[in-house]
Amino acid sequence: MTPIHGTTAPGFEPVRAAFASNFEKHGEVGAACAVYLRGLPVVDLWGGLADPDRQRPWREDTLQLVFSATKGVTAVCMLLLAERGEIDLDAPVARYWPEFAAQGKGEIPVRWVMCHRAGLAAVDGQLTLDEVLAGDPVVRAIAAQAPNWPPGEGHGYHARSYGWVLGELVRRVTGRTLGRFFADEIAAPLGLEFWIGLPEAQDARVAKLLPAPPAAPELQGVIDKMMAPDTLLGRVIRGPSLLFGYDDMWNRREMRVAEMPSSNGVGSARALARLYASLLGAVDGIRLLRPETIEMACRVQSDGADRVLHLATRFGTGFMLAPTLALAAQPSCFGHPGAGGSLALADRESDFSFAYVMNQMSLATVGDPRAAALLQAVYDSLADRPTS
């Protein structure tokens, strides 16, 4: 049985039990889970192996790549700038980034990028991996290209372009990269161990990402067909230039140091739970965004058939919303999952925040059962707590 480390407040023992069960029933290798309730930490758990090849244990300070859970962090940066009056979410992107207006994109508002309605899910330019990681070449390619579909006519998951477009907006408005803005304005005041663009000094703390086990042959055939290079899904998930997969490439240093604000945030479950807690109320005296900002961000902007994923998805302004956010998520939840299983969210009604990070990726297409079991255990714990 895998030893489980960390703490749970009285009444949250079901979360510890669910966390332990994930190792026994769902093939967990290394993971962490954190929960804040009404601005205070009530769950902080970790266990397993950060690197099974070297038998390196997952420690209290282990960090993890969380893929698209980074999008929620990027959304917070954008909402903070909007709240300060530095960005108008309903203004055209081209107001701040004139080159973006090329090829009929001049009227696309910032909000459409944040809710995946901009029609720019796939990046069309031919780029090398070095150019993509450098940032500027891929940003220029997006500015120069035509939309994949008429902007505003439906939505489709902007898996990678979401971060490059919003990151360039932050740079144009503040003079800082999004990773630098997040570090200065959000991570430092809240004491968060989370980075978009990981400093070299933190690299040794990162758990080794383990690709998902191979799918059954019949399922793999379906996946290969859906992800073919000539499909929009394949171009979005594997692009630009079919450079990306969910494999060992993400364990390389250059994939962590680059700033990809849609997909390569690295940090702890503790940091993500603390960040989302600060969106619901004060955490050590800091409330990051006003209640009306969060209410606005949680209004449904995109709902139904997703042009890219071919599933029903629901988005507010920057955040994914229930029911597509996560199995077990309630309608009052907002946040973002990450490829392979990671999840960070907050529940406005129940006043808690939740984060789960792991190194063993899963092929689950509609919510990860490990995250769902932990989140359900939080709700079970809250249901059993005294009301006074």
**Could you give the residue numbers annotated as active site?**
68
Q: 10 Å Cβ neighbour count for 121? A: 27
Q: 10 Å Cβ neighbour count for 349? A: 9
What whole-number distance in Å separates Cα of residue 367 and Cα of residue 342? Answer: 10
What whole-number distance in Å separates Cα of residue 320 and Cα of residue 333? Answer: 9
Classify residue 253 as exposed, middle or buried by CB count within 10 Å of its CB (0-12, 13-18, 19+): exposed
Residues 6+ apart with CB under 8 A from 51: 207, 208
Q: 10 Å Cβ neighbour count for 298? A: 19
The DSSP output letter for 281 is S
Rg (CA), the chain: 20
- DSSP per position, 143-180: HHSPPSS-TTSSB---TTHHHHHHHHHHHHHHSS-HHH
Residues 6+ apart with CB under 8 A from 79: 289, 293, 297, 317, 318
* Amino acid sitting at position 356: Y
- Which SS3 state, helix, strand or coil, does residue 333 take? strand
Cα-flanking dihedrals φ and ψ of residue 244, to 5°?
-110, 145
What whole-number distance in Å separates Cα of residue 179 and Cα of residue 164? Answer: 11
Cα-flanking dihedrals φ and ψ of residue 243, to 5°?
-85, -20
Residue that is written with structure tokens 């960390």 in the block:
6
Contact 64, 206 (CB under 8 A): yes
